[in-house]
Structure 1
């Protein structure tokens, strides 16, 4: 911005100087030539006054001193110089002056003014005054050099003033940029300082008000997530303990599978609450390798958990590992949570058979969840929080699944609209997984 302000100011100053200096330079040139002609004319008139009519018969003529660096001479009607200095035969200005008019012009590299000398209503001679054109030209160049120096000085002053004003304008904006960078890095307490420029101060005040509102909104959301998680922990823990106690005391073979499934569901719900609470905290780094699980084991657990729910609706669930390596390990709980959201979305909004397939893409595993239904509308907006495509549901599930995938360093997207197919990309580190498996075996 500073360079731009300086360029604009310099351009404006340069245009102003050119518009002023060029006419002024032409006026100076015209004025110096006109002044020199007037000087020559005064010298010629002064000489004409001193010319006596008897000079023709041989009386001496005393002409005044010529102009500085010039010449002054008297010519008779035959254009012959009789006194003073100048070309011996008369030139064009002398011939013109013999007609009775003052003649001005150039001849032989000189500025010439010829004044007729009259007696008894007839011209008896001509007084010729001249000066070299080069002398006048040197004066013009000197004046132009002074004008150029003044113009350069004016431009230098304009640049200095422009740089100072640019610093004054840019400093508050640079400070506001540093403040925004600090906010981007997580410092929500930073506030833009006021400056001496009203417009920038208005922007800073608006920015501070916006930041305050966002900080308050974020604080309320975090407080709600923390309070909700805290309030849910206690009843979930109590329910989990009660189910564990029921399993320890219950001998009925028909109730034990039900209690076991209820306990597993409670544990998954407890983990979901913990994961939501972790995502609500700012600045907490993702933990993609915490609690890693083999891919095939994860798919078996997922199929066991969701097979019965789809069977109740008269639908099928097919799980397949196409080419995933045996040593691939992924964060089990978060991936299971994302797959659960996608499967539940397919059960509620989809149709027909649901397929869960795993593909190996070198350092990334792709989990494809598809059904026989179709997705309409803009795919990117499916993940907007609070938006439900067909009016059913809260519109939170896919948004939460996307956040969980991002926390793992992966990505969740809609890869096909018909049949509806969602793909979860999860990075895998086989070396780290092997080290972890070796540590567990020890």
Structure 2
């Protein structure tokens, strides 16, 4: 913005200077030439007054002493030089002056003024005054140089003033920009400072009011999340304790049902933890989950957990771990939850054998979950609040994938195939690397 303000100000100053300087330069030239001609005319008139009317009969002529740079000469009606300095034969200005008028002309690099000398209403001679044009031209050049110096000085002052004004105008906006970057980085306590510009102050006040409202909204959301966490975890923990106690005291034929109920409760507890973690990570820029699980372990435990459920439905679950790199570690909790959503979706809405496969894409991993059913767009669209269907679970899975720097997409509809893309984290790196954006689907 500073450069833009500076360019606009300098453009306006340059236009004004050009519009003023050119006419002023022409006025200087015209004025200096007019002054010189007026001076020559005054000298010629003063000399004409002193001319003796009997000079034609041989009386001496007394012309005044010419000023420096000027020449005075007296010409008779035949245009012959009778006294003073000048060309021996009168020029055009002398011929015109013999007609009884004051004549001005430029001839042979000189400024010439010729004044008639009259007696008894007759022109008896002409006084010619002249000076070199170069002298006036030098004075014009000096005047133009002074004008150019004034233009340069004005332009310099304009640059200094424009830079100061640009700084004054841009500083509040730059402060507001720094404040916005601080807010983006997570500092919600930052507030834009007032400035001397009313329009910028209005934007700053509006921004501060918006930030205050947003801070209050986040505070209420944080309080609600904390309360919801307490209200959800406490009864779930109590239910787990009851099931564990019942499992120890139950008959053998009841153990399986109680064990499944306890496992479902644990999965529900884990789901609540992931939902709350996702809500918290959405409020913190750069929040990440540590890569704490080997991928092979996660797939093995997923197969053990879901194999019996698919077997009860007369279906098969195949987890292909042959292409799983040994050195890859991933955030176990979120990825487990995503796979749980995909497998539950395949169990409820799919058919046939469900296959989980892993592809190593060097800088990313692709986890494919496919069944033998056919999906439509309505099957994978987010469902409205209170509605059933797979959309709600898939929406949660997508948000979890994004929170990991990955992407979940429907890769195929016949058969139904979901692909989870995750940035690859190698054990040698010591951390789960993530790119600035989600990997593109292969």
TM bin (shorter chain): 0.7 to 0.9
**What is the rounded CA distance, in whole Å, between the counterparts of 2:179 and 2:73 in structure 1?**
84
Shift of 1:429: 3.9
Shift of 1:419: 5.7
Shift of 1:344: 4.0
Please say if residues 329 and 427 of structure 2, whose CA atoms lie closer than 8 Å, have aligned partners that are also in contact: no
Residue 413 of structure 1 pairs with residue 409 of structure 2:
yes
Pick closer, same or farther for the CA change 1:322–1:247 going to 2, 3 Å.
closer
Unpaired runs of at least 5, structure 1: 436-442
Pick closer, same or farther for the CA change 1:428–1:136 going to 2, 3 Å.
closer
2:440 aligned residue: none
Shift of 1:186: 1.0
**What is the rounded CA distance, in whole Å, between the counterparts of 2:17 and 2:316 in structure 1?**
83
Please state whether the residue corresponding to 1:53 is helix, strand or coil.
coil
Residue 286 of structure 1 pairs with residue 288 of structure 2:
yes
Q: 1:367-389 deviations in whole A, cap 9, x for unaligned? A: 22344112269x9xx5xxx7649
1:304 aligned residue: 307
Residue 260 of structure 1 pairs with residue 259 of structure 2:
yes
**What is the rounded CA distance, in whole Å, between the counterparts of 1:86 and 1:98 in structure 2?**
16
Pick closer, same or farther for the CA change 1:261–1:271 going to 2, 3 Å.
same
1:229 aligned residue: 229
Shift of 1:423: 1.6
Pick closer, same or farther for the CA change 1:326–1:415 going to 2, 3 Å.
closer
1:439 aligned residue: none
Pick closer, same or farther for the CA change 1:419–1:280 going to 2, 3 Å.
same
Please state whether the residue corresponding to 1:236 is helix, strand or coil.
helix
1:367 aligned residue: 367
Please say if residues 323 and 359 of structure 1, whose CA atoms lie closer than 8 Å, have aligned partners that are also in contact: no
Residue 21 of structure 1 pairs with residue 40 of structure 2:
no
**What is the rounded CA distance, in whole Å, between the counterparts of 2:395 and 2:233 in structure 1?**
23
Residue 401 of structure 1 pairs with residue 397 of structure 2:
yes
Residue 119 of structure 1 pairs with residue 119 of structure 2:
yes
Pick closer, same or farther for the CA change 1:389–1:322 going to 2, 3 Å.
farther
1:44 aligned residue: 44
Please say if residues 402 and 412 of structure 1, whose CA atoms lie closer than 8 Å, have aligned partners that are also in contact: yes
**What is the rounded CA distance, in whole Å, between the counterparts of 1:12 and 1:48 in structure 2?**
54
Residue 426 of structure 1 pairs with residue 422 of structure 2:
yes
**What is the rounded CA distance, in whole Å, between the counterparts of 2:12 and 2:120 in structure 1?**
64
**What is the rounded CA distance, in whole Å, between the counterparts of 1:93 and 1:420 in structure 2?**
109
Pick closer, same or farther for the CA change 1:122–1:392 going to 2, 3 Å.
farther
Pick closer, same or farther for the CA change 1:106–1:419 going to 2, 3 Å.
farther
Counting matched residue pairs gives: 423
Matches within 5 A, 1:215-226: 215-226=215-226
CA RMSD of aligned residues (A): 3.0
2:58 aligned residue: 58
**What is the rounded CA distance, in whole Å, between the counterparts of 2:85 and 2:308 in structure 1?**
126
TM-score in terms of structure 2 length = 0.86
Pick closer, same or farther for the CA change 1:105–1:376 going to 2, 3 Å.
farther
Please say if residues 369 and 419 of structure 2, whose CA atoms lie closer than 8 Å, have aligned partners that are also in contact: yes
**What is the rounded CA distance, in whole Å, between the counterparts of 1:192 and 1:372 in structure 2?**
54
**What is the rounded CA distance, in whole Å, between the counterparts of 1:374 and 1:80 in structure 2?**
118
Pick closer, same or farther for the CA change 1:425–1:140 going to 2, 3 Å.
same
**What is the rounded CA distance, in whole Å, between the counterparts of 1:305 and 1:136 in structure 2?**
113
**What is the rounded CA distance, in whole Å, between the counterparts of 1:420 and 1:65 in structure 2?**
117
Divergent runs of 4+, >6 A: none
Pick closer, same or farther for the CA change 1:125–1:423 going to 2, 3 Å.
same
Pick closer, same or farther for the CA change 1:111–1:351 going to 2, 3 Å.
same
Please state whether the residue corresponding to 2:252 is helix, strand or coil.
coil
Unpaired runs of at least 5, structure 2: 432-442
**What is the rounded CA distance, in whole Å, between the counterparts of 1:246 and 1:172 in structure 2?**
68
Please state whether the residue corresponding to 2:236 is helix, strand or coil.
helix
Please say if residues 102 and 116 of structure 1, whose CA atoms lie closer than 8 Å, have aligned partners that are also in contact: yes
Q: 1:224-255 deviations in whole A, cap 9, x for unaligned? A: 222111111111111111111111111232x2
Please say if residues 40 and 67 of structure 1, whose CA atoms lie closer than 8 Å, have aligned partners that are also in contact: no
Q: 1:186-231 deviations in whole A, cap 9, x for unaligned? A: 1111111111111000010111111111111122222222211111
**What is the rounded CA distance, in whole Å, between the counterparts of 1:389 and 1:367 in structure 2?**
29
Please say if residues 408 and 426 of structure 1, whose CA atoms lie closer than 8 Å, have aligned partners that are also in contact: yes
Q: 1:248-278 deviations in whole A, cap 9, x for unaligned? A: 111232x211111111111111112222222
Greater Cα shift, 112-121 or 168-177: 112-121
TM-score in terms of structure 1 length = 0.86
**What is the rounded CA distance, in whole Å, between the counterparts of 1:433 and 1:138 in structure 2?**
81
Shift of 1:117: 1.9
1:96 aligned residue: 96
Pick closer, same or farther for the CA change 1:31–1:434 going to 2, 3 Å.
closer
Please say if residues 97 and 114 of structure 2, whose CA atoms lie closer than 8 Å, have aligned partners that are also in contact: yes
Pick closer, same or farther for the CA change 1:91–1:302 going to 2, 3 Å.
farther
